[in-house]
Each structure stands twice: as C-alpha cells, then as structure tokens.
Amino acid sequence: MNIVNRIRPLVSKALQELYPGDASTPGFAEKDLTIAQTKPEFEGDYTLVLFSFVKQLKKSPEQLGKEIGELLIKSSPELFTAYNVIKGFLNLKVADPYWTGFLQANFADKRIGIRPSNPHRIIVEYSSPNTNKPLHLGHLRNNFLGWSVAEILKTTGHTVFKTAILNDRGIHICKSMVAWVLFAGGATPDSTGIKGDHFVGDYYVQFGVEHKKEVEKLMLEGLSKEEAEQQAPIMQAAQKMLVDWENGEPEVKSLWEKMNGWVYEGFNETYKKIGSDFDKNYFESQTYLLGKEIVEEGIAKGVFFRKPDGSVWIDLTADGLDEKLVLRKDGTSVYITQDLGLADKKYEEFQYDQSFYVIADEQNYHMKVLKLILQKLQKPYADGIYHLSYGLVELPSGRMKTREGTVVDADDIIEELKLVARQKTEELGKVKDFNPGELKELYDTIALGALKFFLLRVDPKKRMVFNPEESIDFHGFTGPFIQYTHARIKSILRKQEEARNLELGIGDQGHGPLLPKEKELIVLLEQYSSVLDQALLEHNPSVIAIYVFNVAKTFNTFYTELSIMNAESPDKKELRLQIASLTANVIASSMALLGIRVPERM
C-alpha cells in the first residue's frame, strides 16, 4: 500500500469524526479526496485539497485545514509529524520512520511492483504486418507499445494473451509474387543471402517501378492516368493472380505459400531481435471469410439493411457517423466484415473481458464503427473492445512513404543504432576488460534500449519524430542514460563490502534524521506503485518511461551530493546502500516493463 492509500482512509475518518452530520455528503468519500505530492516550494510531503469541503461545511480553508491537521497528528503520530495550511491546501509532513520502513521492507525485492493475479482476461493484438515487405519503424512503435502494455497488464495481475493478425492476402501480396515471377529468375533468399522479408519486399518495390514505367508509356498513347494504372500489363497480371488465388489455383497457391514462408522467417528473426512474441497468430487468408454469418444475424435483428443492388449496410447517422458498407453486392467481405468475424472468433477461443487493438490513429473511425456495430448486435464482449490508438512516427525530414523510398526498415535502424552504441561506448572508455561476446551483447542491449525508450517515452496518442542520434545520448532523456545509471549502481554495490550484509537492516534510529536528498529519492521510489496504477489506467508506457528517467536523474544527484563509501557513519552508509539497491531494482523493474534490458556493467 502506498502512502496516498494510507492517507486517504485517515483523512476520511478524521472528516467523519470532526463533522459527523456531514459525513455522508458527496465529496467526503475516500475516492473523492484529492491528495497529491506537496509542491517543492512549500513545506510538507503530501497535500490535501480543501476547496471541495469549504462550501459544504461553511468554514474557511484555514479553519478546516487547522482542524483536520491537528486531528491527524493527534490520531496518527506515527505517520504525521507536522502540518501547515496554505490557502486551500493542507500540507502534511510524513514521519521519517514511514520512509525508512518502506525502504527496509522493499530494498531487496527484485520483483517489486508485481501484483497478485486476478481472473480478468485481456487480449492485446499488435504488430499486424503485411507479408509483402519487412517491418519498418512504424511497426516498431506498434510492437513496443503493444508488448509493453501487455507486460503492464500482466504485472498488475491480469491474464494476458498476445495476438497478431498477418495480412497475408490481397492485391499487395500478388504484386510481390508477379514481380518475382517476372524478374527473379528463380532466385531465393538462400541463393542471394538476403533476409526473406527484405527479399520479398524488394520485388514489391520492383513491381512499383515497372508499373510506373508502363503507366507512363500508356499515358503517352492517350490513356488517362487512372485508365493506365488499371490497364498496365503488370497490374493486369497481379489482378489475375489474385483471382487465381481466390479460386485455389494450385501453382499460385504454392508460390504464395513459398514466398510467405520466406517473409515469416524474416519476421521471426526480427521479432526475436526486438523481443516481440505472440501467443497466437491469425492469418487474413484464414479469416477473410469470417463475419458473413454475423451479417445475416444483423439483418435478422434489423441492425443491418440490404440495398436494392444486394449490398448490406448499417446506418450509423444517429450515432454521429454515416452509413457503412458491411457486405458488397457480390457477397464478398469488406474489412469491417472480417473484423466482426475475428472479434467473435477470438472471444470464442479466449473468453476475453477486454480486447485491445493496437492500431494507428488513422483507423480511429474504423474502430469506432467496429465497436458500435458489436454493441448494436448485443455481443457480450462488445463493451470490452478497446482501441489503443497511437500517432505515426515521422522522420526529421517528414512522414515515411514507401514509394518515395523514405521508409526506414526495422532491421536497418537497429544495425545503425548498434554502430552508434559502439562508438559512444568506446568514447566513454570503460569497457576495456569486456571480451568480444560481452561487447556484442552490450552494444545490442544499448541499441535496443535506446530505440525502445525513445519510441515509448512519448504519449501514444501523440505523433512523434524519430531521431537516431538523439535516442542514444548517454546524458539525455534516453534509455542509455538510465541503463548507465543502473550499471553505475551495480558497480557501487559490488565495491561495498557491506553490500553482502544488506539483509541485516538499519534499525530505526541509528542513521539519524533523513537528509533532504535521501528522503527525496526514497519518496520517489515509494511512488512506483502509483506510477504502475497510472500507466495501467491510461494504457500508457510513457508514464513509466518518464518516471524511471526521473528516478535515474534523482539518483545521480543524490550520489553526487552524498557519499556512500565515505558516509558519516556505518548506519548512514548502510542506509544509502539500501537506497541504491532499491533504486537499481525499481529501474530494472520499470525498464523490463518497457522491454528494455539493463546491464550490470557498462
């Protein structure tokens, strides 16, 4: 239980004792109390906001603060030592033994933050790439966000299933296939030494190049651009291949399976590299026919209606949207049809309470429609549909575009960051005793830590600009700065002979009063539980990223101003060792929730 949750019931009890006739008034309940850390410019540790009581109790804020503060100190002297009232705020000073008690109880806990399990079942769907090209920088934000949110949910006790839907069918897949048939000459990833997803992606790009040439030629012959794009021979070949695939033509199916196999091998290599994993993969080729039964059910219920041409629609104008097609006139599915079917299938398999979709904000409208339709169909899982919307990643030069060659492949950016990690680490000159294997692992840890932290430190709702150089600065708001701080703490603990005896404890009085920097860091570490609650509530890993950066920054200030090795007394030395130990554990736990490893030395 954190300090705010300790203070709430005490304040509520004090209000009931002081003002029994008003105890049931709205605003007196524990959940309605506003309690926050005291601002640095005021004396105190935590502040109770009094304004909500003034009108109800017809007393001045100063009088209310004085009455509540005096009773709290009288009834809970072990927790509160002083108070002051500034306008409508009651500032409470928390006794040192609370902070040292928290420190002693938690400094050795390497599993700090993990909560008991509960029966709540949640699916988190993320990644969801097309199988015609490699993962790119935008996919990385999606993967890191989805994986981190799943990990936060697991750590706070939920049962979590991670899934992906692979978009492995459609005209975009056939474009890569046609280009391979026309230009590959039988080449394979093995024969060329090119990673499978990159190999197939190269042919998708080549399709675009050849298509552009053919379009330009046809336009010179008098066709409009739109006509030329459709009548270009290479596009005609791709369209025919799509029809052949849907008709189950054996040679096309065989080629499709072979090329998708190459892509999956490449994806799996990248997923292993970045630490993404899934409990189940769904494939659009197996789900694109789902949902038609749900459409028929919707027609029967009057949720959908059929137009004279045979197409099926839903009218959402009363909900502030518009009419939405759910089945084409020829009876074929659209994306919303498939998503309705897949939502139903996932519920059948997992019986989820919530289903998270980690999808860019370009699909906000689509996800609103999906949830609204499921609610109108009265599906038991409809209210649990949650769109974890996030902003796109841009480069300093602007938005990434495949056709203009500005898309940054995930593998390429990782390799680039490993080179930068090597350069920056060698500049520090502290790894001369590392063997080649240890250096390779360290560069990998730093590079991925930099990448993940940079993409997760921004609120998911916001668009962001990715700058590789900025991401790997050892002195900035970065993953490597936090990793370096963790390694520094571990080095301190290794050097201290007393570190082996931390479990002995420090007693209640031997260390004397907490110094401001000691208390500041312990107070911040005590807030870890509240930070997890906030990240869980907001489904927002950036809350943890910002917090753990502040922990690392605060520790560095603490260590600069207060000596551990040459502390004033043995008790002070052990107190600071315990603070260092707890800091390292909170950093490691926080970074693990972001999917980031922290080295023991660097």
pLDDT given at position 1: 74
pLDDT given at position 429: 81
Q: Give me 583's structure tokens.
A: 């800091």
> Which of 154, 160, 150, 121 lies closest to 352 in space, CA to CA?
121
- Cα–Cα distance between 175 and 245 in angstroms, integer? 13
Domain ranges of the chain: 3-94, 170-283, 410-593
User: 410-593 in CATH: which number?
Assistant: 1.10.730.10
Torsions phi, psi for 510 (to 5 deg): -60, -30
Whether residue 98 is predicted with pLDDT greater than 80 in this model: the reply is yes
**Helix, strand, coil share (%) of the chain residues, nearest 5:** 60, 10, 30
Tell me which long-range contacts 568-574 makes (C-beta under 8 A, separation of at least 24): 569/510, 569/511, 569/512, 570/498, 571/506, 571/507, 571/510, 571/511, 571/512, 572/511, 572/512, 573/496, 573/498, 574/498, 574/502, 574/504, 574/506, 574/511
Whether residue 85 is predicted with pLDDT greater than 60 in this model: the reply is yes
203-243 residue pLDDT tens? 999 999 999 999 999 999 999 999 999 999 999 999 999 99
102-149 residue pLDDT tens? 999 999 999 999 999 999 999 999 999 999 999 999 999 999 999 999
pLDDT given at position 175: 97
Question: The tokens 């500049």 sit on which residue?
Answer: 427
Torsions phi, psi for 325 (to 5 deg): -70, 130
pLDDT given at position 400: 45
- Is beta strand 398-399 parallel, antiparallel or unpaired with respect to 159-166? unpaired
Q: Give me 339's structure tokens.
A: 């998503």
pLDDT given at position 54: 84
28-63 residue pLDDT tens? 788 889 999 999 999 999 999 999 888 888 899 999
Whether residue 593 is predicted with pLDDT greater than 70 in this model: the reply is yes
The mean pLDDT value for 570-581 works out to: 95
147-192 residue pLDDT tens? 999 999 999 999 999 999 999 999 999 999 999 999 999 999 999 9
432-485 residue pLDDT tens? 889 999 999 999 999 999 999 999 999 999 999 998 888 988 889 999 999 999
Torsions phi, psi for 6 (to 5 deg): -75, -40
Torsions phi, psi for 357 (to 5 deg): -115, 110
Q: Which residues are CB-contacts of 371 (< 8 A; sequence separation ≥ 6)?
A: 382, 385, 387
Q: What is the mean pLDDT of the chain?
A: 93
**Residue 504's pLDDT band (boundaries 50, 70, 90)?**
very low
Question: The tokens 């603070």 sit on which residue?
Answer: 579
- Cα–Cα distance between 489 and 474 in angstroms, integer? 15
Share of the chain above pLDDT 70, in %: 95
- Domain 3-94, architecture per CATH: 2-Layer Sandwich (3.30)
> Which of 587, 582, 575 lies closest to 504 in space, CA to CA?
575
- Cα–Cα distance between 514 and 522 in angstroms, integer? 10
pLDDT given at position 402: 46
